[in-house]
Structure 1
């Protein structure tokens, strides 16, 4: 699937549909062409326009009641960014397939990535007088006791469901089946741990990561790698803009040893907390210096894999996840992609069965079982025990799906809620008739629906990228426009960490709120208060921050310790984070701005703190 911006490899996309893969890296200036003057001018003009024109009548606000109305703000927003309103396809998709976002009056800024649940997936087509309706989960995962090396060497059977999901995901991720093989994992952490347990750290000693925040999945990999003898190194990020400290990272990539087997370089294209984007060329430099590259694509938005850079720099391994559906607890599964030409690297690992590899199997709930079904809960439990015994005794891989079908029972396993995959399949005649009645199976043929992926494909990279760019930069500029009243120098209410208004930045922002005394409001409290206003935010912890001599005095004032952590390396900055999805609209961002502006009231926190705790964290009116 070629990028819509694909062109000769001598130049990056310059029309703004995707991030420039050659930015920010001083050492690479001689390798990449100079951006055309028009592109550089356009980026500069974008920053000036965004900063100076979004609020023409006022450059800062000191009272939440003085904010312009939603209608007025949107009108000015579309004047500055007329392209936003020229294509309303995203709003149409949202209103038709995701109208529950508006009905619930809840704004979600606590996710990023590929997972998205469509309300229409819950609705069964009405083919008769039946009022039956599908219920989650639409599929389950079943853990497999299998060695990754054996799986890579000898392959494994996969069900029709898994085959369809795998092909759909690889097509969506713009990954060729001829170049890569894919393994389903329980989640993102399982994918990282799985690779760590199979990578030959005894010969390729180093693990080098590039994260400006604490990442639970990466920490899982670090712990497993250390147990296998890996030397763990972290990339440092310069304060205050949190850009990669290029000189330090280059030294770590080159190293002192002439040994070409350096280790594993774990690289995200952008920070899911600060929104900072990094040059694709770091992957090329790492490979040139003897590193294997793991690309963490979990923070990328839909269609980001269609950019030019990934068609030039193919990582050895890639991890992504499909999880965190709107308003629900984290659910879904992870994916580990292994470059076929690099699969032999993993064969040198000699370990027991890996934990985390899973199968996808159709879910069947008792509410979906038709009347007259012959199996009972006792039979289900008995059948499950039998299947588990068979799993333990099996000498060769066999699809759990086929086992379940053969005994007409469902294996007990972890259930996932609100997946974007809709799949029902069975060999039981009466159950098959029931499912056919509600429209999921037509003439015995299984239907697979991935509406979140389909909708992203229909919108495309250009529309999604433009939409995210306008909204995130408006939000950043709006947050920075809030100033405490009566302060001598207009003390900012909000501090942004990482990139601010910037053409090439990701759709996430890390920030903190400070009171009129300059004291930081606890990010956890901000998150709780936002939730009471029907806004979901996340918290993050920025780490690996490097302070130059110029900012040395800020070190002790800015850095804090993670609660319960005794290691000095755990010092960082706790922040509030907001991430925009591909269907986030202007009203969502405006509501977040309006909520944050309430902290301009010096008594807001105390009043809300008391109200929040007064009646067991239940909302009461003053």
Structure 2
């Protein structure tokens, strides 16, 4: 049964030894990571988390000492210089080597270290009398490694990709005797650990390639090795006394979580004299002439390549990072007073200390999680996940604590990674999705061809977005990874999440069982599968027996505008002549039933019966937003209590009244009065940069009190210009530019009451308590609600007119976690998003985005309840693939 499989006893019985640092893990979590309570963080391959004592030790150090620029000669500068040199020693010590063999060059990160190697390596270009160099790299490499080929290409050096399954050549089988002494330098780069799958590639390749035993390509010369260790050293010990690569780039936040923006390049001193450098920055020159081409570098290799002043305070933080890590995971061990030869005699693991314990701890969690995931099957025997791996997770020397996979439905179809990530966030589980800056591995494991990559780009998919499926095929996957503070509860929570979202609560026959040493599967009833093909919601289901009615209270209504009927009729006539043919029907016309605006982004709706519109949408819709102390927009994803804040607009008094239970009402003027005292700054909404101004201390205090966190209310500045002008493809609009308010994607969001009714019939049986229509409407936070005869027919529209207004359909709205929040109570319902996905056949589209096409008219544009809606069909009536991600719903 599931309970037994997910028990700690099953974990202990099925995983290797080494979990928990001898029982110290719980205390470690409580002392150092209290901020993780209620959070399951599984993106340690992206960045691990820093312990609180590291931050405290660092800030105490800065408070108690004066650190000056290390290039000066005063007392504070000398202190900085000496501390930096001590940290270099600690870094070399951590990797079991000394300054006799390696030099530490500080960089801004692993990427900068890789770029430096490409720039300074002694390449021999094509076209010279000497045999030219080659840059070879494993295709299962980070983008930053592959990107080195741009620099080598500019130097006329050929790059050669090597696939992991290609066999490295034996030199003795092909190299002629007369070419044995060729000294042309070549560089081979490979990751010690794949950041995609966690596969650990053999460290023995380093010596085999350098000695000539192995060779990436058939070409004579001298091979050097770049070992990309950024992923590997976050959870495994690396002994450079044994595995002496020539270049080792690292990023320290992968190890300590702090500081970020600091890395290093460890350079083997034997190759250092060969490196070439053309640019020289501050601190690198022993002497130079400003008026003549004369430059003499400093003798120190590190100083020669560290242009400008290094990030010295961050480097000082590293000292505390090493101290804290050793203290948390194991005592400072004997290796400090032992030579490399002595370590080899006594055995490597005896000198691995905390990192060896981290390796065993994180692997135990990965092994267990992988075992359970590979066991999960639907009632029909189909696997729940498709795992992407090269190992069976039985050996920590060949597999790191990274698990990569896609979730499948019971028919074997992939559920998009974006959908999985949205659901995980509802459980406060933090995962990573996409291709993880490793396109080569993504192609290899997911079977994506070079042509597919180019076609996906043409379809609008780029790295980092959440277009997860194109033509039913995945563009990426889901990755979880464990860190030194990860716990069994983290693994258990994740597995429970997979089970809860893939199996019905009534399904007591989840098809697996456990024993003390092995997890096996067993048959399960075939009538309890959670996703049934008959549950998928038809986009054209007709509803005739139910109507949606809504009666907003008089206090929420605003009236006062009328549009001339003759003008409306003439506009409709013009539209009907040039647009795609209207939907033909003989029944009741489509009308607007509700209009909502949201003056403060992510706060409660304000319902009206008539409202003026402008070139940003409904007047005052999302003109304000709440930001945290760093000026970052807060939405209901981070703070569900925002939905309990009720703003309303009083146009006569020209004020916005803000109310919330337990708080005195507060008012904000609608006048855009930006005086000299106003603080104007730039913010970001989704990826759009907006100019805003602060609404003052009084409102900041009100919101901070209610939300229980420091925050402020800011308003969009009146002079904001949108980067993009949206034009009507039918050519009916004025040359008026269309801009956006603080929405994420479009001016308006429209939903259909018939679609709500159809959705309700499918969602309600899956929920503990059925939802009322009004509650459903409020969850989807639309501006316009219409009553169309057919559910989801709005997804086939290209344009619509409402009264005198014309709108272009931008595309479907892909829903995010906000629909899981009850807009009346602020409570989350984790099952709602999944239920929507199940009902709609793995999609979470609901509603369409509209952009208003302003009329060339002196009359004000008014949107009114009861107005007739005239839709125009798309030329191709197939439902298009969504191009909007979860960050692009209206908020």
Name the counterpart of 1:342: 271
Q: Distance in 1 between matches of 2:427 and 2:66?
A: 33
Residue 577 of structure 1: how far off its partner (Å): 1.4
**1:172·1:457 contact (CA, 8 Å) conserved in 2?**
no
| Secondary structure at 2:227 match in 1 | strand
Residue 303 of structure 1: how far off its partner (Å): 7.0
Name the counterpart of 1:311: 241
Q: Are residue 509 (structure 1) and residue 438 (structure 2) matched? A: no
| Secondary structure at 1:338 match in 2 | strand
- Given candidates 491, 498, 502, the residue that maps to 1:599 is 502
| Secondary structure at 1:160 match in 2 | helix
In structure 1, list runs of 5 or more residues that go unmatched.
1-57, 59-66, 126-131, 145-155, 238-243, 359-393, 400-410, 424-445
Aligned ranges 1:307-386 → 2 under 5 Å: 310-323=240-253, 331-346=260-275, 349-353=276-280
Residue 221 of structure 1: how far off its partner (Å): 1.9
CA shift in 2, pair 1:559/1:109, >3 Å: farther
Q: Distance in 2 between matches of 1:232 and 1:143?
A: 39
**1:179·1:340 contact (CA, 8 Å) conserved in 2?**
yes
- Given candidates 43, 58, 66, the residue that maps to 1:110 is 43
- Given candidates 83, 95, 105, the residue that maps to 1:173 is 95
Q: Distance in 2 between matches of 1:579 and 1:253?
A: 41
Name the counterpart of 1:526: 420
The total of aligned residue pairs comes to 445
Residue 184 of structure 1: how far off its partner (Å): 0.5
**2:70·2:80 contact (CA, 8 Å) conserved in 1?**
no
Q: Distance in 1 between matches of 2:278 and 2:536?
A: 53
CA shift in 2, pair 1:141/1:175, >3 Å: farther
**2:192·2:201 contact (CA, 8 Å) conserved in 1?**
yes
Aligned ranges 1:71-470 → 2 under 5 Å: 73-81=7-15, 83-84=17-18, 87-91=21-25, 94-95=28-29, 97-103=31-37, 105-112=38-45, 116-123=49-56, 159-202=81-124, 205-213=133-141, 215-237=142-164, 244-246=165-167, 259-289=182-212, 290-301=222-233, 304-306=236-238, 310-323=240-253, 331-346=260-275, 349-353=276-280, 422=317, 450-458=323-331, 460-470=354-364
CA shift in 2, pair 1:189/1:123, >3 Å: closer
**2:14·2:368 contact (CA, 8 Å) conserved in 1?**
no
CA shift in 2, pair 1:236/1:251, >3 Å: farther
Q: 1:237-293: CA deviations, max 9, x gaps?
A: 3xxxxxx3325x668997897644251111222212211122222112211232111
| Structure with bigger RCO (C-alpha 8 Å, 6+ apart) | 1
CA shift in 2, pair 1:545/1:494, >3 Å: closer
Q: 1:13-53: CA deviations, max 9, x gaps?
A: xxxxxxxxxxxxxxxxxxxxxxxxxxxxxxxxxxxxxxxxx
| Secondary structure at 1:232 match in 2 | strand
Residue 192 of structure 1: how far off its partner (Å): 0.4
Give the TM-score, by structure 1 length: 0.59
**1:183·1:337 contact (CA, 8 Å) conserved in 2?**
yes
Q: 1:431-489: CA deviations, max 9, x gaps?
A: xxxxxxxxxxxxxxx9897423543453634433322232111111111122223x3x4
Residue 499 of structure 1: how far off its partner (Å): 2.3
Q: Distance in 1 between matches of 2:148 and 2:228?
A: 12
Normalized per residue, which structure has more strand? 2
**2:137·2:146 contact (CA, 8 Å) conserved in 1?**
no
| Secondary structure at 2:3 match in 1 | coil
Name the counterpart of 1:479: 373
Q: Distance in 2 between matches of 1:449 and 1:88?
A: 20
CA RMSD of aligned residues (A): 5.0
Name the counterpart of 2:476: 574
Name the counterpart of 1:612: 817
Name the counterpart of 1:150: none
Give the TM-score, by structure 2 length: 0.43
CA shift in 2, pair 1:546/1:576, >3 Å: closer
Name the counterpart of 2:674: none
**2:427·2:497 contact (CA, 8 Å) conserved in 1?**
yes
| Secondary structure at 2:149 match in 1 | helix
Q: Distance in 2 between matches of 1:157 and 1:396?
A: 24
Residue 158 of structure 1: how far off its partner (Å): 7.2
Q: Distance in 1 between matches of 2:90 and 2:268?
A: 18
| Secondary structure at 1:497 match in 2 | coil
Residue 496 of structure 1: how far off its partner (Å): 3.2
CA shift in 2, pair 1:413/1:339, >3 Å: closer
**1:114·1:300 contact (CA, 8 Å) conserved in 2?**
no
CA shift in 2, pair 1:216/1:398, >3 Å: same
Q: Distance in 1 between matches of 2:69 and 2:148?
A: 22
Name the counterpart of 2:577: none
Q: Distance in 2 between matches of 1:422 and 1:335?
A: 14
CA shift in 2, pair 1:336/1:301, >3 Å: closer
Q: Distance in 1 between matches of 2:62 and 2:496?
A: 36
CA shift in 2, pair 1:525/1:584, >3 Å: same
**1:271·1:299 contact (CA, 8 Å) conserved in 2?**
yes
**2:136·2:187 contact (CA, 8 Å) conserved in 1?**
yes
Residue 305 of structure 1: how far off its partner (Å): 3.4
- Given candidates 51, 68, 72, the residue that maps to 2:3 is 68
| Secondary structure at 1:592 match in 2 | helix
- Given candidates 388, 391, 399, the residue that maps to 1:499 is 391
CA shift in 2, pair 1:139/1:217, >3 Å: farther
| Larger gyration radius, structure 1 or structure 2 | 2
Name the counterpart of 1:587: 489
Q: Distance in 1 between matches of 2:3 and 2:364?
A: 18
Normalized per residue, which structure has more helix? 1
| Secondary structure at 2:264 match in 1 | strand
Name the counterpart of 2:518: none
| Secondary structure at 1:498 match in 2 | coil
Name the counterpart of 1:442: none
**1:90·1:583 contact (CA, 8 Å) conserved in 2?**
no
Q: Distance in 2 between matches of 1:540 and 1:139?
A: 44
